[in-house]
Structure 1
Amino acid sequence: MWRWAQAALRTPGTRLQLRRSVCTSLGFSQKAVTLTVTPRTGLADELLDIKVEGLGPRERVTLRASAVSYRGRLFHSQAHFESDGRGRLDLARQPALGGDFTGVEPMGLLWSLTPAGSEDPCHSQRPRGVLKTPLKVEVTVHPTQQQPEVPLGPALASAHVQRWFSSPQLSRTRLQTGSLRGVLLLPPGDGPFPGLIDMFGDGGLDESRASLLACRGFAALALPLFGYEDLPPIMKDLNLDYFEEAAKFVQSHPKVKGPNIGVIGSGKGAELAVSMASFLPNIAAVVSINGCISNTATALTCGGLILPGLPFNLCKISATDSGVYDIKEALEDPLDPAYRESRIPLEKASAHFLFIVGEDDRLWKSSVYADIAVKHLTEHGKTNFTLLSYPNAGHRIDPPYSPFFSAAWDPVLGVPVLGGGQLKAHAVAQIESWKKILEFLHLHLEQRLTN
């Protein structure tokens, strides 16, 4: 499955590098220290098995991860460990004693990756176009320094892995049908597969989550809103016709078992996913990640109805000392009668909703909005919802093991803004919510497909 990727990593004459795991020993000392990371090449949501052998009994070592993003930006993380009585270390069993995380965290070196040195903290390492852009990670083992300010010494052992958001078996089709733009990603085989539309709110085309979903058995359309090809360069007033065209395309595709499909969205994309379920037929499942219950920022035309954009109050935006802006209080209150026409009539939807929120979201009050949505649906006699609320998680809840970013570029305001959240809690939210998302989509799409 991964031969094409493995070939890029091979070193002539090194038979060990033909294995799926990497096991490399460097001659720093007389000890035969080996570091094994398995799988060597795999999907970005897969668990890594990281083990070290050949250390001295109860020896203190530091494990470091370095990654180069698809834009060439450098990320790193590190943690300190102590080997067992036999000189072995297994990250699935032994706790980190300090560094960027503590405790038993098999994937801590991945989810604690942060921009190195002067790298821009607002730029993600997650690729947008995914077929030939893996995240390349090097893991190294070093003797632990007694003084934290002392640089790490030469590595005792190292290993290289690739983390892919795609698989060579996926079919990728670039769309230029009518006004529709985006990329359709299909699993191998004839199908038919449950269909999905995936949307983000920050502009451009982002295939990463849709591609992982396709690897998990879904026909997924990555749908851009603006900033891609001939779409408007910035977000302007939107028309539901565009999203209806996308839904009909997915529903009628010969490899999609329609007519019911799902929609998953983050931020503005989540809000639009809820709007699609409220106004369009055959939307069976909606995953809303830190969305709002009102249409925000720009107007949305839905046939003869126009939902005005809930505005931002610029007077409520404050700047931090680092030049990043705090905008949590800036979005006007959706319960204010003055903005009633911006509310999305989600009680009209027949879809099942999965609301995912980070309680420390600093972009806007997504936790409050989800509570309002649940209360509103309950008052209308609805039980078609599940709420997952994660303490101390921030705004951008991505697939598991994605690095944490405390700030991001806001395409509407044109400034860097706080995303909120704490490192460990945000990682937990990403790991747990991904499992719940897959379970939810399989349950409510495939269940309805078979009825």
Structure 2
Amino acid sequence: MFRRAVAVVLLLATVPACSAVDEHPVMTVDAAVVLADERVGVRVTGLVAGSTVTIRSETVDRNNVTWRGTAVVQTDRAGVADLDVAPSTGGSYQGVDGMGLFWSMVPEGGDPDTGFLAPARPERGPLEVRLTATGASGATASAVVRRQWLGEGVTHRRVLTGGLVADVYVPPAGGRVRRPVLIFGGSEGGSSQLWEAAQLASHGHPAMALAYFDAPGLPATLDRVPLEYFAAALRHLAAQSGGGPVTVIGYSRGSEAALLVGQHFPDLVRGVVVYAPSDVVHAGYPYDDRPAWTFRGEPVARGPIPVDRISGGLLAIAGGDDELWDSVGSARRLRERRPDFEILVYPRAGHFVGTLPHIPTGVGMGGLRMGGTRADDQLARVEGWPRVLAMLAAS
């Protein structure tokens, strides 16, 4: 299983000689190495009782952009600042949030509402976050948290055969065989769900992150993508993971493909999860005079997507403040067609209602506002991601 560690980093900077305050801060994180979707407890002791301490986080993404977060909290009577119980009254987030220093980081010189932290590919290593606490005297203590995309023993393989463009992440051999998962994104194109697939494999699910346009050998845009392409991916993943049906996860425009594939290939699919869904087939993107999808060589007609033939669990996650389209309305209409379609609605979240928690993300992209706030989208991810894992574990 994933090895956990305890990191305790003692005083790194001595108290200035002129200070009358005697502080000896110690920062403790309950796990120095964790999966990226796991919580980390952060606690600072040895501070002045009732004083203000500033705790900062910092990391650098693959684009060499520095991201920083800040919490300003008051110590308790014992001189302790525990971020799971102490509210932040300033900095990059407000209130009690033990993971606030991670998801609320903002890009240096950039707009947090349009910025998205760009981690390195999962197989290239963890996201390292440095935490530093500065007490009333100026004394500091720090720790480093390594947030792993790949759990111990998880392997990666690039798939560029049979016309597929995908990445497969496989749990270590010898463990319980869990439901395999095919996951893909929306109108952003390319392989946008690598990190989700890596985390799914770290939780025991063989997972394939699939590109279906805007990648070498694939259509440049969302234009006449064959549903048979997804079926080929399902068969490939099933063959690599011991056979059996696969759960499909689709985001935004990818929700259309996920539902259509589940409907047209029920023998290959068991369970569908859709984030910020559409319950209808839209035109291609960015051209509105071309079909997005084809089936057996014919365009898939625009209009409501039938879901009566999909087997297994059904889950839709939507934000009530989605400004791209009415994803909540779509989720509710899906439930009208299938009463067993579970829906999770987060009233103040936007289009970026998922997936992984604790990752800094904006609320706008490409000049479009997607609704919600960073804090409300984060809340939806914190609550929604475990529900997805629970559904997969039960299938």
Shared fold, TM over 0.5: yes
Q: Which amino acid aligns with 1:169?
A: G
- 1:154 deviates by 5.8
User: What is the identity, as a one-letter code, of the residue corresponding to 1:188?
Assistant: P
The whole-number CA distance in structure 1 between the counterparts of 2:318 and 2:147 is 26
Q: Percent sequence identity over matched residues?
A: 29
The one-letter amino acid of 1:252's match is A
Residue 51 of structure 2 contacts residue 75 of structure 2 at CA under 8 Å; is this kept in 1?
Answer: yes
Residue 81 (structure 2) aligned to one of 76, 86, 89: 89
Contact map agreement 2:159 2:167 (CA 8 A) in 1: yes
Contact preservation (8 Å) 1:22, 1:36: yes
> Which of the residues 7, 11, 23 maps onto 1:25?
11
Instruction: Provide the secondary structure at the position in 2 that maps to 1:173.
Output: strand
Match for residue 318 of structure 2 among 357, 360, 363 = 357
Distance 1:365-1:383 versus aligned 2 partners, 3 A rule: closer
1:391 maps to 347
Please state whether the residue corresponding to 1:159 is helix, strand or coil: strand
Deviation at 1:389, TM superposition (A): 0.2
Tell me how far 1:107 sits from its aligned partner. Answer: 0.8
* Cα-to-partner distance string for 1:207-259 (whole Å, 9 max, x where unaligned): 10011001011010111112223223333221111011011112222x33x42
In the alignment, what sits opposite 1:267? Answer: 252
**Cα 1:186–1:371 shift into 2, 3 Å:** same
What is the match of residue 222 of structure 1? 209
SS of the aligned residue for 1:252 comes to helix
Q: Give the Cα–Cα distance (whole angstroms) in 2 for the partners of residues 180 and 279 of structure 1.
A: 19
Residue in 2 that maps onto 1:432: 383
Deviates more, 1:421-430 or 1:229-238: 229-238
Distance 2:43 2:245 in 1: 45
Match of 1:74 in 2: 66
- Report if the CA contact (8 A) 1:69-1:136 is conserved: no
In the TM superposition, what are the counterparts of 1:126-275 in structure 2 within 5 Å?
126-127=118-119, 129-143=121-135, 156-190=140-174, 192-201=177-186, 202-206=188-192, 207-253=194-240, 255-256=241-242, 258-275=243-260
Partner of 2:363: 406
How far off is 1:272 after superposition? 1.0
Q: Give yes or no for the alignment of 1:307 onto 2:300.
A: yes
Tell me the TM-score normalized by structure 2: 0.89
Out of 271, 276, 285, which is 1:285 matched to?
A: 271
Q: CA-to-partner distance for each residue in 1:6-27, whole Å, 9 max, x for gaps?
A: 9xxxxxxxxxxxx641414222
CA RMSD of aligned residues (A): 2.3
- In structure 1, C-alpha distance between the alignment counterparts of 2:108 and 2:50, rounded to whole Å: 30
Equivalent AA in structure 1 for residue 351 of structure 2: H
**Do 2:163 and 2:217's aligned partners in 1 also have CA atoms closer than 8 Å?**
no
1:366 to 327, 332, 339: 327
Distance 2:86 2:393 in 1: 34
Q: CA separation in 2, counterparts of 1:168 and 1:119? A: 35
How many correspondences in the alignment? 377
1:392-431 deviations in whole A, cap 9, x for unaligned? 111121211122311123xxxxxx3212112322111000
Gaps of 5+ in 1: 7-18, 145-152, 309-340, 410-415, 446-451
Q: Is 2:36–2:149's contact at 8 Å kept on the other side of the alignment?
A: yes
Distance 1:120 1:47, change over 3 A: closer
After TM superposition, the structure 1 stretch with the greater mean CA deviation from structure 2, 130-139 or 178-187, is 130-139
Judge conservation of contact 2:180–2:205 (CA < 8 Å) in 1.
Answer: yes
